[in-house]
Amino acid sequence: MTLPTILSTKRNLFQTSKFVLRRSFGSCQIYLRNLDQPANDSSPSLSSPLQGVRVLDLTRVLAGPYCTMMLGDLGADVIKVEHPEGGDDTRAWGPPFAENADPNDKEHGESAYFLCANRNKKSITVNMKSAGGRQLLHDLVKQSDILVENYLPGKLEKMGLGFKQLAEINPRLIYASITGYGQTGPYSVRPGYDVIIEAEAGLMHITGEPTGPPVKVGVAITDLTTGLYAQNAILAALIHREVTGKGQHIDCSLIESQVASLVNIASNYLIGGQEAKRMGTSHPSIVPYQVFSTKDSFVMIGAGNDGQFVKLCTRIGLDHLAEDTRFKHNKDRVKNRQQLVKLLEKRLQEEDSSFWLEKLTGAGFPFAPINNIAQTFDHPQLKARGLVQEIEHERAGKIKLVGPPVKYSNAKTGIRLPPPLLGAHTNEILSEVLCYSKDKIQKLREEGSIGT
C-alpha cells in the first residue's frame, strides 16, 4: 500500500491517521513512518506528492504517455511497459531526432516526439502474448497502485490483463483505460486518433477562418486534454481508495474529453440552440478580441469590457469610437463587429507591430505579439520561471525539455529521470522490484517473454 495509508475509520480519517507506508522503488523494502516524527528522520523523503506510488504504464503515442508522465512529474515511480521490438510507436517518429552523443553510434538518435512525453519513467520490455510476460505483469500488478492502458476495449482482457482479472490479484489497483470512444457504445471498438476526434467532436468545425476550410489545432490537443482528464481522475481515485480501501476502473475517452472541452461553445448550443461557426481568432461574445494585422505583421488585442475598450481607443488615437453609439457597450460592438474591426485594423495597419507593442504597454488591457516557437522559448517570463530544463540523456547527451508547468510551495517536482532507452530498466525492475533471480530472468529472456 502506498500514498498515505489510512489506519482509521472513514469518520475520523484525517484526525487519527498517524502512519505512512512507503515502498522503495527498486529495493524490495517497505518503510513505515510515524507522522508524529519529524520528516527529516532516516525514512525516505516525502518531498514529492506521489512518492511511493507505483504506476504501470501500458500506453503509447501521446494521450496515455502524457498522463503517466505527469504522474511521474509528481514523484510516482512509472514503469513503462513496451514491446521488445520497437517499443512505443513514437520512438520511430522522426526526424527530428536528438543526435547521439557518441559519434560511433550510427543509428538514428532519440525521437523528439518520444522525448516530449516520456520523462520520469523506467522502460521494461515485455511480450504480453507470452505466458511468462503475462505472469511478470501479474507480479508487478501485485505491487502497483495504478495501471494505465490505451488498448481497444477487450484486447487486454483476452490476455488476462483486463480490469476484473487484475482486480482479483490486487483489489486496490486503480485501472485507467484511455480509448477513442469509451468502453461501451456502438463506436467503442473503433480506434481513436486525435485528428479524427477533432473532426468528429466539433473542434475542427470551429477552428479556422470564417471563409476558409476547417483546420486542426497546431498540436494534438484532444490527446493532451484526454491525458489531463485521465490524470485528474486517477488522483481522485487515489483519494477515494484511501476512504474505501478499493481501487476502480476509470473509463476515459477522447471523444467525451473533447466535447467537454468545448465549454462555452457547447453551452451556447445546449442552452440557446446556437450553432457555432468558424471565427478565426475572434471571440463569439467579445469585441474586439482577436488578431489584427499591422503594417508588417500581427498583434493580438483583447478588450474584454467597456472600460478596456475606452483605453484601447485612447491609446491608438481613435477616442471618438468610444463614444460612438454603435460601439459604446459590448453588446453593441458584437452587433456591429464588422464595422468596428475594419476601423481598428485600418488604424493598426498604419504602423509596425513593434510600434504598437511599445505604444500599448501599460494601457490596462491585454495584448501580445504573435510569437513563433523560437521567440516563445526566448520569452523573458519563461526564462525567469525556468520552464525549460536541461538534462543528461544516456544516449543523446545533454538535451532540453519543457519541464512541469506547475510549481508547489511545499513539494518537489521536476525531471528526475530522462526519457528511457527501450528496455533500459528491465533487469533492474525484475531483480530489484520483483526480486527475480538471475536464472529466472535469463529464462524469460530465452523464451522471448522479455527483450534481449
Active-site annotation, residues: 223
Q: What is the Cα–Cα distance from 224 to 217, expressed in whole angstroms?
A: 12
Residue with cell 505512512: 20
> Identity (one letter) of the amino acid at 277?
K
Q: What is the Cα–Cα distance from 219 to 233, expressed in whole angstroms?
A: 23
Please, are residues 432 and 117 in contact by the beta-carbon 8 Å criterion? no
Q: What is the Cα–Cα distance from 381 to 387, expressed in whole angstroms?
A: 9
C-alpha cell at 325: 453609439
Phi, psi of 183 (to 5 degrees): -80, -15
Q: What is the Cα–Cα distance from 311 to 322, expressed in whole angstroms?
A: 9
Task: Report how far apart, in Å, the C-alpha atoms of 163 and of each of 37, 160, 235, 323, 434 are.
Answer: 38, 9, 18, 64, 21
Please, are residues 99 and 399 in contact by the beta-carbon 8 Å criterion? no
The Cβ-side half-sphere exposure at 302, using a 13 Å CA radius, reads 11
Phi, psi of 222 (to 5 degrees): -65, -40
User: CB-based burial of residue 51 (10 Å sphere; 0-12 exposed, 13-18 middle, 19+ buried)?
Assistant: buried
